[in-house]
Amino acid sequence: MTCSCKTTAPVPNEYRTVPFWSWNDELEPDELVRQIRAMKQAGLGGFFMHARSGLKTPYMGERWFECVKACILEAERLGLDAWLYDEIGWPSGFGGGEVNASGDEFRQKFLRFRTVRREECAVEQVAGLYSPDGSRYLGSDPSELPAGEILEITYEVNPFYVDVLNPAVTEKFLAVTHQRYFDTLGAGLCRRIKGIFTDEPQVVIGRPVWSPTLNAAYRRRYGRELTPELPMLRLDLPGAAAFRIRFYGLVAELFSRNYTGRIGAWCRTHGWEFTGHQVQEINYAEAVCSNGAVMPHYRHYTIPGADWLGFAEPSVYVFTQPASAAAQSGRKRVMAEAFAMCGWNLNFRGMKHLYSQMQLLGINFLCTHLQSYSLRGMRKRDYPPSLAPHQPWWPDYRQLNDAFARLNRLLAEGENPVDTLVLHSQSSAWALYRDRMEDERIAPLCRSIESLSERLYRNFVPFHYADESMLAASGACAADGTLQLGCCRYRQVILPETVNFPAAVLELLRKFPGPIWRSGERHALLVDGEPAPAETAAWFEALPELPDQLPFRGILSVSGAGTVRATRRIYDDGVIYFLVNTAETAAAEAEITLPEPFASLERIDPETGEPDPFPLRDGTRFHYTFPPAGTLLLRARKTAGAAPVPETVPETAALPLPAEARLRLLNDNFLPLDRAAYSVDGGAFIDADVSSIQWRLLALRRPCDLVMRFRFETGETFAPDTPLSLVMEEPERYRLRFNGIDVPAQACGTVFDRAFRRVALPEGAVRRGGNTIELAVRFGQGEQVYDDLDRAGRFETEFNRLAFDLEIEPLFLAGKFGVSGAGEWRELPHGALRQSGSFRLEALPERIDPARLAQNGLPFFAGKLALDFACELPETAARAQIETGLDGANSVRFSVDGRACGFAWCEPFESRDCAAQLRPGGCTVTLELTTSLRNLLGPFHLSEGESRSVGPLSFSREPNGVTPQEPPPYDAGYCVVATGARGSRITVSQKLIPEQGTGKARRRICSDARQDTMSSFRNKLQA
């Protein structure tokens, strides 16, 4: 047992969301402080100060430290946690270029294999020369060899990253980063820093690693010479499996000890938390060359973690790795870096859908990717979304963060008994790995542990992974018959598909008296890469298969819904159950049975912690219908609580709201202008997507005079005297003409972000039909930018810290207008729409179909709008709620005749009881919708429509000429997400059960209301 479950107690800061705060422009201390205050208001717990592409303030320069100091002091004043990020861009370890600038000894290296004739051999950076079949080592000097073919293994040096196996590299990195903060800011100020984040340090991705440290380390570790055995990294020679296990085991050990271990030790000495994550955590194969192994690193973090990109269902495998290591190391916090690449359409429901699944898997510390200091230029396309004050929903963000934080605490501080241990057989992957991640021999191993993990997860069986190195070093058989690994004890072990056992792990398993089960295909067993002795092989073969009917109980059982998952925490005064419907768009009707009887059950509101009685049958069973992506937080007690609310079907009547609503925009509507004709140095005009113009000009590598002409149309219903503004970036740098009239490019305000500047177009200058906006500018970049571009295509450290002197961006028209298209809207997956015709400005509709806002004048709208419905109730109801469905919008705020009656951001979208406001006679019901920035910022032209994995190239039609990646397939039409309120109605009842409990959870409506009363009421509604 642990402690009492104080659901309503204030949540400590450590459980609140902490964003990657992208420092990506010229930094101003006053603006940084303003944004910190906004974070406090939004319920965030602090921030990671993350230098990133677009940064104009010199990294680790005097101004940088001035800004860091201002943020530390403001965070302390407000009670927030100030965290550092240890790099500019990523991957971590190169110290903004200072470490790799120290020479080849410090730089990343990787091996290349090729068969050549002797005269073609390299003479430098030779690791070894061999007979063509790799069986004989011939030395390293080709001049001493006879003519003929030779297997040549050379190493290449990457000048832009570092050798993380070399301890001198880490010491240099610590000196130029961590220690420099202490030396510059002083120990007193630095001790107010909460900790530091390391991001995706890596050995090599996709290629076999080389390091000068390996030869000596291999000799010390194994008493053998490394160089003669190198061909076995690729060739299946006799002894290859044993060699690969030695080689990659050593790589994993050196990386963990010399990089992560040293940073962890430095942080402990200096009083900092250490968090972050490794690269390529997604399976055995990806981990081999990039890390050697992932799990050995986690013991060095005070808060181990993982990241998850895009909108895919979170991986059980990925998050079980750090969660297991944390539990075994006695760490109660586990971090997830989440929401990168989800796109600008990510809303509160989407965040909850993704993060609640991560919470099930052991995550209790959320680092959101990304909160951008600025959206200027390429920054708005930096693996969006940006979850920052420029979002229209920001004033409501606290509600989501409060819910996440309270649940984080409840899941972190309760006891989580785990009896099942799954072997994480990374050495089996080492044995089979032939220097490429797609090796078909390893895929079945990856699928085996992933499918086993999913099976346990969906059967509600808590389990951990056992890292082989940790198991070999500290695993033991306890006196009570359990297998002890660190702080945890396990009663049964499951082996996924396994090829190899480390000898120490095998010895421990054979001593373990508990059940050991096998899952997956059977293979001839290796021990440290060598064929297992016959007696050991026989023992292994005799292990039973894990049966279809699992031989151990889950924490609960669910019937009727295959998408519900759950986790549990035990407290002195009750048991917390957290259940999640993992289906994003489908409801789940479930019958749930608890493993033991309880006297009472309460539903906990995650935002406030307030409990409400929840119906429980026979002490163990209850029924619940989960909305799409819905969750249920419960506390089960052995002692009786307040009397539960009876499970009853309410007698209700529904009054549909009118099919049309009066439309009120609470901010301007928009039309993006993302295509233009451009001319360079007075040449002919060329039509292009704006996303292509800058990269074409950069290829010139010289200054030039650029003129761009943007056209838009106005329709018959558009009033020419309608005020129009142009929204653009850095207007002061351009010469602006509108329909041939010179316009002062003076900003008169901003829209959403400080970078989006509003320029008023002259009154009376708008024409019916075609209109032209012309921008002229001297385009060019400093020599440093061109030098940076040369390097940017060679490694991600360089691309990830690009910053341009001038950026060419689309424009937006803003005003109280409607937008009409020439084509038909087609429905696409994920709630998207596409139209292939052009757009024109029309009059803003006064009345609108509330379910089809994008199709009726608002395809590119972002912000807040109100829908007013005139309705009339025939008589007073005992209880009434406004209900609706939402598409595209983040949230809805309800009101009746201007008086607020509720706010909802997840299903069910319903108001509080508003019967007292809905008096007989006429009234106005208002739904105020808040959107994201998706339909303003795109991407608009992806062939797939609405993407679930959005990166910088998602916004491009052409390659950028720097990186080798091609943009995804393009469509000239415009894709937006459908937006609206559908099925809106008022649900009324005439009789209530007396209120019970203290929470704000929805009160149930009594089903014994007189039938004739409700029938009469329905008849009046229909009339």
What is the arithmetic mean of pLDDT over 939-950? 97
User: What pLDDT is attached to residue 5?
Assistant: 87
What is the arithmetic mean of pLDDT over 712-727? 96
CB under 8 Å to 384, separation ≥6 — which residues? 341, 342, 343, 344, 370, 937, 950
User: What pLDDT is attached to residue 221?
Assistant: 96
**CA pair distance 604, 1001, nearest whole angstrom:** 8
Look up tokens 């319903």; give the residue: 910
User: What pLDDT is attached to residue 1018?
Assistant: 52
**CA pair distance 118, 541, nearest whole angstrom:** 49
**pLDDT for 1016 beyond 60:** no
**CA pair distance 150, 516, nearest whole angstrom:** 48
Task: Supply the DSSP string of 197-256, one letter for each residue.
Answer: EEE---S-SSS-EE-HHHHHHHHHHHSS-SGGGGGGGTS--TTHHHHHHHHHHHHHHHHI
Nearest to 592 by CA among 649, 637, 636, 643: 636
Domain residue spans of the chain: 22-45+302-414, 420-542, 557-647, 651-663+819-992, 669-815
What is the arithmetic mean of pLDDT over 899-907? 96
**CA pair distance 247, 255, nearest whole angstrom:** 12
User: What pLDDT is attached to residue 877?
Assistant: 78
**10 Å Cβ neighbour count for 472?**
18
- For the domain made up of 557-647, the CATH class stated in words is mainly beta
**pLDDT for 378 beyond 90:** yes
Cα 10 to the chain's mean position, in Å? 27
Instruction: Give the amino acid at 732.
Output: E
Please, what's the largest Cα pairwise distance for the chain? Answer: 106
**pLDDT for 646 beyond 70:** no
Examine residue 964 and say whether the peptide bond preceding it is cis (omega within 30 degrees of 0): no
Q: Which residues pair with 526 in a beta bridge?
A: 500, 531
**CA pair distance 206, 735, nearest whole angstrom:** 48
Q: Are 393 and 42 in contact (CB under 8 A)?
A: no
Q: What is the CA radius of gyration of the chain?
A: 31
Instruction: Give the amino acid at 397.
Output: Y
Q: Are 710 and 772 in contact (CB under 8 A)?
A: yes
Tens digits of residue pLDDT in 592-634: 999 999 999 999 999 999 999 999 999 999 999 999 999 999 9
**pLDDT for 178 beyond 90:** yes
Tens digits of residue pLDDT in 35-79: 999 999 999 999 999 999 999 999 999 999 999 999 999 999 999
User: What pLDDT is attached to residue 2?
Assistant: 56
Q: Which residues pair with 110 in a beta bridge?
A: 156, 209
Sheet (strand 909-910) strand order: 653-656, 980-989, 879-887, 909-910
Same fold yes or no, 557-647 and 651-663+819-992 = no
Buried b (16+ CB within 10 A) or exposed e, 482-512: bbbbbebbbbbbbbbbbbbbbeebbebbeeb
**CA pair distance 798, 31, nearest whole angstrom:** 27
CATH 2.60.120.260 at 669-815, yes or no: yes
Q: Identify the band that residue 1019 occupies on the pLDDT scale cut at 50, 70 and 90.
A: low
Buried b (16+ CB within 10 A) or exposed e, 212-246: ebbeebbeeebeeebbbbbbbbbbeeeebbbbbbb
Report the chain's mean pLDDT, rounded to a whole number: 94
**pLDDT for 1014 beyond 90:** no
pLDDT-above-90 percentage for the chain: 88
- For the domain made up of 651-663+819-992, the CATH class stated in words is mainly beta
Tens digits of residue pLDDT in 250-288: 999 999 999 999 999 999 999 999 999 999 999 999 999
Q: Identify the band that residue 650 occupies on the pLDDT scale cut at 50, 70 and 90.
A: low
Nearest to 805 by CA among 826, 785, 832: 785
User: What pLDDT is attached to residue 968?
Assistant: 96
User: What pLDDT is attached to residue 6?
Assistant: 87
Q: Identify the band that residue 996 occupies on the pLDDT scale cut at 50, 70 and 90.
A: very low
Look up tokens 């890596």; give the residue: 202
Tell whether the torsion through CA atoms of 984, 986, 992 and 995 is positive or negative: positive
- 629 backbone dihedrals φ, ψ, rounded to 5°: 60, 25
Examine residue 644 and say whether the peptide bond preceding it is cis (omega within 30 degrees of 0): no
**CA pair distance 729, 600, nearest whole angstrom:** 59
Q: Are 1005 and 988 in contact (CB under 8 A)?
A: no
**CA pair distance 310, 677, nearest whole angstrom:** 34
**pLDDT for 1023 beyond 60:** no
Q: Identify the band that residue 3 occupies on the pLDDT scale cut at 50, 70 and 90.
A: confident
Q: Rounded to two decimals, what is the model's pTM?
A: 0.95
- Indicate the Cα dihedral angle 603, 604, 605, 608, nearest 10°: 150
H/E segment holding residue 882 = strand 879-887
